[in-house]
Chain A
Amino acid sequence: MTAPIKDFAKRSNGYRAAKWSEPVVMQMTGTGRRGVVFEDAPAPALPGKSARKAAPALPEVTEHDALRHYLHLSQMTLGMMGISLFGTCTMKYNPRIGERASLDHLRGLHPLQEAETLQGVLEMYDNFSDFLCEVSGMDQFVFQAGGGADAAYTHACVTRAYHASRGELQQRDQIITTIQTHPCSPATANTAGFEVITLSLEENGYPSIEQLKSVVGPRTAALMVNNPDDMGIYNPDIKEWVRIVHEAGGLCFYDHANFNGVMTRLRARELGFDACMYMLHKTFGAPKGGGGPAVGAYGCAEHLVPFLPGPVVVKDGGSYRLDADRPQSIGRVREFWGNAPQVLKAYAWARAMGAEGLREAADISVLSNNYMDWRLAQVRGVSRSNPGIDAPRMEMTRHSVEQVTEETGCSIFDISMRMTDFGIDALWLSHEPFLVPEPFTPEAGELWSKEDIDYWIDVLEHVIGEAYADPEIVKTAPHNAAIHQLTSALDEPDVWATTWRAYERKHRKQMAAE
Chain B
Amino acid sequence: MKPHPWMANSGGTAKQEMLAALGASSVEALFAQIPEDHYMKGPLDLPPQLSSEVALARHLDDMMGRNTVFPAGSCFRGAGAWPHYVPAICDEVVGRYEWQTSVFGAPTSDHGRNQAWFEFTSQIGALVEMDFVGLPVYSWGCAVGHAVRMASRITGRRKVVVPQVMDPERRMVLETYCEPTEMARHIEIVTVALGPDGCVDRDDLRAKIEGAAALYIETPGYLGVIDADPGELCDIARAAGAEAIVGVDPLSLGLLEAPGAYGATIAVGPTQPLGVHMYAGGGVGGFIASPDEERYAREYNTLNVSISQTREAGEFGFGLALFHQSSYGMRDEGKDWTGNSVYLWALANAAYMSAMGPEGFAEVGRLIMARARAAAEALNALEGVSVDLTQPVFKEFVARFDKAVPQVNASLRAAGILGGKDLTGEPGIEGNAALFCVTEVHTQTDIDRLVQAVKEAIA
- Cβ contacts B355-385/A at 8 Å (1 or 0 each): 1111111111011011101000000000000
Q: A121-B64, A351-B50 are in contact. List 17 more A-B contacts (CB 8 A).
A: A26-B122, A33-B357, A58-B356, A79-B109, A79-B113, A81-B97, A105-B61, A108-B69, A110-B280, A193-B179, A334-B173, A335-B140, A336-B169, A355-B44, A417-B108, A496-B297, A502-B131
- Which 7 residue pairs across A and B have the least CB separation, nearest first? A354-B49, A48-B228, A79-B102, A149-B339, A289-B344, A111-B281, A336-B281
Residue in chain A with minimal CB distance to B149? A191
Q: Report the contact-size class of chain B (Cβ under 8 Å from the partner).
A: 35 or more
- CB pair A77 B138 closer than 8 Å: no
Residues in A neighbouring B323, C-beta threshold 8 A: 491
Residues in A neighbouring B56, C-beta threshold 8 A: 97, 348, 351-352
Residue in chain B with minimal CB distance to A330? B176
- Cβ contacts A76-97/B at 8 Å (1 or 0 each): 1111110010100101111111
Residues in A neighbouring B345, C-beta threshold 8 A: 289, 293
**Interface segment, B83-91, B188-196, B237-245, B425-433?**
B83-91
A residues 481-512 near B (Cβ < 8 Å) are 481-488, 490-491, 493, 495-503, 505
A35 vs B88: C-alpha distance in the bound complex, in angstroms? Answer: 12
- CB pair B231 A60 closer than 8 Å: no
**Cβ distance A253 to chain B, nearest Cβ, rounded Å:** 15
**Interface segment, A3-11, A38-46, A464-472?**
A38-46
**Of A46, A146, A334, A484, most B-chain CB atoms within 10 Å:** A334
- Cβ contacts A91-120/B at 8 Å (1 or 0 each): 111111101111111111111111011111
Instruction: Say yes or no for A340: interface residue by CB 8 A criterion.
Output: yes
- CB pair B47 A425 closer than 8 Å: no
Q: Known contacts A36-B87, A367-B18: does B81 contact A498 (CB below 8 Å)?
A: no
Q: Known contacts A338-B282, A449-B8: does B357 contact A34 (CB below 8 Å)?
A: yes
Residues in B neighbouring A285, C-beta threshold 8 A: 6
- CB pair B31 A450 closer than 8 Å: no
Residues in B neighbouring A485, C-beta threshold 8 A: 108, 310-311, 317
Residues in B neighbouring A341, C-beta threshold 8 A: 279-280, 282
- CB pair A270 B40 closer than 8 Å: yes
Residues in B neighbouring A89, C-beta threshold 8 A: 103
A41 vs B83: C-alpha distance in the bound complex, in angstroms? Answer: 19
- Select one of A77, A96, A107 contacting B113, CB under 8 A: A77
Q: List 13 A-B contacts (CB under 8 A).
A: A50-B226, A69-B354, A73-B111, A73-B116, A78-B110, A107-B278, A110-B418, A234-B34, A338-B281, A392-B33, A446-B7, A447-B7, A485-B311
**Cβ distance B293 to chain A, nearest Cβ, rounded Å:** 8
- CB pair B351 A94 closer than 8 Å: no
Q: Known contacts A291-B135, A333-B176, A496-B322: does B4 contact A360 (CB below 8 Å)?
A: yes
- Cβ contacts B163-181/A at 8 Å (1 or 0 each): 0000001101101110110
- CB pair A482 B112 closer than 8 Å: yes
Instruction: Say yes or no for B334: interface residue by CB 8 A criterion.
Output: yes
**Interface segment, A211-219, A261-269, A401-409?**
A261-269
**Cβ distance B214 to chain A, nearest Cβ, rounded Å:** 17
Residues in B neighbouring A190, C-beta threshold 8 A: 333-335
- CB pair B77 A170 closer than 8 Å: no
Instruction: Say yes or no for B48: interface residue by CB 8 A criterion.
Output: yes
Residues in A neighbouring B50, C-beta threshold 8 A: 351-352, 354
Q: Known contacts A80-B101, A367-B27, A486-B107: does B361 contact A150 (CB below 8 Å)?
A: no
Instruction: Say yes or no for B407: interface residue by CB 8 A criterion.
Output: no
**Cβ distance B218 to chain A, nearest Cβ, rounded Å:** 13
- CB pair A134 B255 closer than 8 Å: no
- CB pair A121 B67 closer than 8 Å: yes
- Select one of B51, B135, B421 contacting A352, CB under 8 A: B51
- CB pair B6 A447 closer than 8 Å: yes
A332 vs B333: C-alpha distance in the bound complex, in angstroms? Answer: 23
Q: Known contacts A49-B229, A266-B39, A449-B14: does B282 contact A110 (CB below 8 Å)?
A: no
- CB pair A76 B228 closer than 8 Å: no
Q: Known contacts A335-B170, A368-B9: does B22 contact A135 (CB below 8 Å)?
A: no
Instruction: Say yes or no for A123: interface residue by CB 8 A criterion.
Output: yes
Instruction: Say yes or no for A306: interface residue by CB 8 A criterion.
Output: no
Residues in A neighbouring B59, C-beta threshold 8 A: 351
Residue in chain B with minimal CB distance to A76? B112
Q: Is the interface of A mostly helix, strand, loop or mixed?
A: loop
Residue in chain A with minimal CB distance to B51? A352
- Select one of A55, A332, A481 contacting B358, CB under 8 A: A55
- Cβ contacts A51-72/B at 8 Å (1 or 0 each): 1111111111101001101111
Instruction: Say yes or no for A222: interface residue by CB 8 A criterion.
Output: no
Residues in B neighbouring A236, C-beta threshold 8 A: 33-35, 38
- CB pair B103 A110 closer than 8 Å: no
Q: Known contacts A26-B119, A113-B68: does B310 contact A483 (CB below 8 Å)?
A: yes
Residues in B neighbouring A501, C-beta threshold 8 A: 122, 125-126, 129-131
Number of interface residues of A (CB under 8 A): 212
Residues in A neighbouring B338, C-beta threshold 8 A: 149, 187
- CB pair A452 B8 closer than 8 Å: yes
Instruction: Say yes or no for B326: interface residue by CB 8 A criterion.
Output: yes
- CB pair A44 B77 closer than 8 Å: no
Q: Known contacts A293-B345, A392-B29, A501-B125: does B228 contact A66 (CB below 8 Å)?
A: no
- CB pair B38 A503 closer than 8 Å: no
B residues 273-311 near A (Cβ < 8 Å) are 277-285, 292, 294, 297, 303-311
- CB pair B106 A416 closer than 8 Å: yes
A291 vs B305: C-alpha distance in the bound complex, in angstroms? Answer: 13
Residues in B neighbouring A41, C-beta threshold 8 A: 363, 366-367, 369-371
- Select one of B81, B96, B182 contacting A164, CB under 8 A: B182
- CB pair A481 B281 closer than 8 Å: no
Residues in B neighbouring A452, C-beta threshold 8 A: 8
Residues in A neighbouring B230, C-beta threshold 8 A: 50
- Select one of A45, A63, A146, A352 contacting B138, CB under 8 A: A146
Q: Known contacts A497-B306, A498-B134: does B115 contact A22 (CB below 8 Å)?
A: yes
Residues in B neighbouring A410, C-beta threshold 8 A: none
Q: Known contacts A74-B93, A491-B321: does B122 contact A169 (CB below 8 Å)?
A: no
- CB pair A292 B341 closer than 8 Å: yes
**Cβ distance A273 to chain B, nearest Cβ, rounded Å:** 12
Instruction: Say yes or no for A75: interface residue by CB 8 A criterion.
Output: yes
Q: Known contacts A173-B184, A371-B21, A486-B107: does B339 contact A184 (CB below 8 Å)?
A: yes
Residues in B neighbouring A252, C-beta threshold 8 A: none
A497 vs B319: C-alpha distance in the bound complex, in angstroms? Answer: 10
Residues in A neighbouring B22, C-beta threshold 8 A: 367, 370-371, 374
- CB pair B280 A109 closer than 8 Å: yes
Instruction: Say yes or no for B46: interface residue by CB 8 A criterion.
Output: yes
- CB pair A35 B344 closer than 8 Å: no
**Cβ distance A54 to chain B, nearest Cβ, rounded Å:** 8
